[in-house]
Amino acid sequence: MVNKLNSYDYVVIGSGPCGMVSGNLLSKKGKTIIIEEGPKVEDRERDIYTYKQISNGYVGGGINVAIGYPPVLLSEGKCIGGGSAVNSSLHHRAPTHVWHKWRELFNLKGFDEEFVENSYKEIENIFSTKKGNIKASIFYETAELIGEKVTRIPRWGNEDSNGRLDRWTARKIFYQKLIDNGTKILHLTKFLSAERDKNNIWNIHLKDLQNKKIFKIFSANLILGMGSGKTPIALRNLGLKHPQLGKFEIHPSARVSCYFPKAEKSQSIVEPFQITGHFPYLMIGSSATRSELSESFYPYKNNIDEIDFSYVQNFYAMAPSNKKGKIVLKGIFKGLKFYFLDSRAKFHLKEGMNLIIKIAKKANSPLIYHTGMTLDLNKNNSPKHIDDFIESCIKKTLSSVHVMSSAAIGENRKFCPLNSYGKIPGIDNLLIVDQSTLPSCPTVNPQATSCVISLINTKRFLNEKQ
Ligand SMILES: Cc1cc2nc3c(=O)[nH]c(=O)nc-3n(C[C@H](O)[C@H](O)[C@H](O)COP(=O)(O)OP(=O)(O)OC[C@H]3O[C@@H](n4cnc5c(N)ncnc54)[C@H](O)[C@@H]3O)c2cc1C
């Protein structure tokens, strides 16, 4: 136990769901502080995917692009609660074949099936994970009618009788609880660097972003939960060199808007349904449905008054891929990301777009569009026109809200910069807990799986200290 004012047992950098899950456990064992670069943002269902939340609570104010052909728009949270404060709250467990691959290919140790199963249960309980009763919109009803498999996805929080979600984010679950147990949480405070002194104590350099002051704190242990975009840069600064460090994976996605002027409006901002019959190659789901977003995606300004954007629904096709992008880890271009879409993922995205168009057409949508082009199926139905529409859709809307695996864990030294326990061998008082540690793309939404790894490795870290 450390007693000095600016000295801690555990310093956690990053207040995303993984940092908070870890910080919560650590705070029961010693003096803990959590450092967060971003601000506090509102995180109720009505706050998500608003311009205010995107500009205040996302990395780059929402402008975070991986350079490539086509460029990819990445979304990452930068606020108290990290991505959990801004995301769609859709819960998945990584399938057992993915965990099997991680054990076989990455030689992941200490994540036995039963242990993982129990840890998912613990995370599901912490995040109040439930399947709701909300009614599916015309798109998913029609998808089922034409024989597609539609799955209701559990969400984090409680749905009321009108289908509104009381979201359980890392901020909602942990923030007040941690403050009450004496843990400090500093937001708008940026981690700059750290080094160990001769007593093996971390000297940690931070910047107060409001007062623009740099200051130092000390800690027996340093825990990094900065997310997959930032943690590999910090690890490189700490001296870790590994050819796979900073090589990240994403879930390439393309988005399209469908107008259903005669249908009942969807009940939620993000509908908790997915078309899962083509899994793990392709998933189709809802992206945020908000009038102002749907209007901003419409490519023309002249006939805008003819469309009631509150009847537009937005959908994505997502094609999990093991293609690696690259984060520049040092030098003047530090932080730049590069990503080139592979031909397999592109093939699946095209299949996904074709399927969305087929369903929307069957559901009598008179207009489908993306930021570059519209598709009026009553006027021009030719396969060539549809093909051009899909091709330009992928170019204009390629994006991902899942950045991962940039500091993979496992015992296979060729593929894994970190060992299975989220550590650099030889440094006992440094632990990595965020989504960078996923060995590879989990093929489903990743938050719960990243939290399971954080939970297991933080418990192990604490056990080793006893
Ligand atoms: C729009 C969106 C929708 C999503 N939808 C879903 C979904 O429905 N289901 C799902 O499973 N997943 C979803 N995700 C992904 C999910 O949010 C992530 O899996 C999760 O947030 C990863 O947690 P993390 O703790 O690893 O990192 P993050 O949540 O990224 O948290 C890292 C934190 O570290 C902070 N940080 C970084 N650098 C520093 C520094 N130098 N100093 C101090 N602090 C720093 C960041 O500001 C950030 O708050 C979505 C993500 C987004 C952006």
- Cα(25) to ligand 1 centroid in Å equals 19
**What are the tens digits of pLDDT across the range 12-22?**
999 999 999 99
| Residue identifier of the C-alpha nearest atom 21 of ligand 1 | 83
**Ligand 1: nearest atom to the Cα of 90:** 8
pLDDT of 136 reads 94
The least confident of 78-82, 133-137, 206-210, 251-255 is: 133-137
- Are the C-beta atoms of 370 and 297 separated by less than 8 Å? yes
| Mean of the per-residue pLDDT values of the chain | 96
- C-alpha dist (Å) from residue 366 to 20, 226, 355, 372, 459: 46, 44, 16, 17, 54
| Residue identifier of the C-alpha nearest atom 14 of ligand 1 | 87
Residues lining ligand 1, Cβ inside 6 A = 13-19, 35-38, 75-79, 82-84, 86-90, 190-191, 225-227, 230, 401-402, 434-435, 445-448, 450
- Cα(213) to ligand 1 centroid in Å equals 26
- Cα(200) to ligand 1 centroid in Å equals 30
| Residue identifier of the C-alpha nearest atom 4 of ligand 1 | 87
**Ligand 1: nearest atom to the Cα of 59:** 47
pLDDT of 4 reads 73
Element (H, E) at 157: strand 155-159
- Cα(348) to ligand 1 centroid in Å equals 26
The answer on pLDDT for 1 being more than 70 is: no
Q: Where are the beta strands (DSSP E) in 246-366?
A: 247-250, 253-259, 273-275, 283-286, 312-318, 325-327, 337-338
**Ligand 1: nearest atom to the Cα of 189:** 43
- Phi and psi (nearest 5°) for 227? 90, 165
pLDDT (average), residues 182-191: 98
- C-alpha dist (Å) from residue 341 to 31, 253, 254, 338, 345: 45, 10, 12, 10, 7
Region of 260 on the Ramachandran plot (φ > 0 left; ψ -120 to 50 alpha; else beta): beta
Structure tokens at 203: 């000297």
Percent pLDDT > 70 in the chain is: 99
| Residue identifier of the C-alpha nearest atom 50 of ligand 1 | 87
| Probe target for ligand 1 pocket from 24, 217, 230, 453, with the most ligand atoms within 8 Å of CB | 230
pLDDT (average), residues 435-459: 98
Q: Which residue shows structure tokens 């800690």? A: 219
| Probe target for ligand 1 pocket from 35, 88, 193, with the most ligand atoms within 8 Å of CB | 88
- Cα(237) to ligand 1 centroid in Å equals 21
- Cα(182) to ligand 1 centroid in Å equals 24
The least confident of 224-228, 249-253, 306-310, 379-383 is: 379-383
DSSP for 314-335 reads: EEEEE------EEE--SSTTTT
| Residue identifier of the C-alpha nearest atom 9 of ligand 1 | 90
Q: Cα(452)–Cα(463) distance, rounded to whole angstroms?
A: 17
**What are the tens digits of pLDDT across the range 125-152?**
999 999 999 999 999 999 999 999 999 9
| Residue identifier of the C-alpha nearest atom 38 of ligand 1 | 226
- Cα(89) to ligand 1 centroid in Å equals 12
pLDDT of 266 reads 83
**Ligand 1: nearest atom to the Cα of 58:** 53
Q: Where do runs of H (alpha helix) occur along 181-321?
A: 231-237, 291-297
pLDDT (average), residues 270-281: 97
| Residue identifier of the C-alpha nearest atom 27 of ligand 1 | 227
**What are the tens digits of pLDDT across the range 309-337?**
999 999 999 999 999 999 999 999 999 99
- Cα(130) to ligand 1 centroid in Å equals 21
pTM above 0.95, yes or no: yes
Query: What band does 2 get if pLDDT is binned at 50, 70 and 90?
Result: low
| Residue identifier of the C-alpha nearest atom 1 of ligand 1 | 87
* Second CATH level (architecture) for the domain 7-55+77-89+92-126+169-245+406-465: 3-Layer(bba) Sandwich (3.50)
| Probe target for ligand 1 pocket from 126, 226, 235, with the most ligand atoms within 8 Å of CB | 226
The answer on pLDDT for 3 being more than 80 is: no
- Cα(301) to ligand 1 centroid in Å equals 34
Q: Cα(365)–Cα(367) distance, rounded to whole angstroms?
A: 6
- Cα(60) to ligand 1 centroid in Å equals 13
Residues in CB range of 31: below 8 A, 6 or more apart: 1, 2, 7, 8, 9, 10, 182
| Residue identifier of the C-alpha nearest atom 18 of ligand 1 | 447
- Cα(16) to ligand 1 centroid in Å equals 5
Percent pLDDT > 90 in the chain is: 94
- Cα(43) to ligand 1 centroid in Å equals 13
The least confident of 2-6, 13-17, 124-128, 203-207 is: 2-6
- Cα(80) to ligand 1 centroid in Å equals 10
pLDDT of 302 reads 80
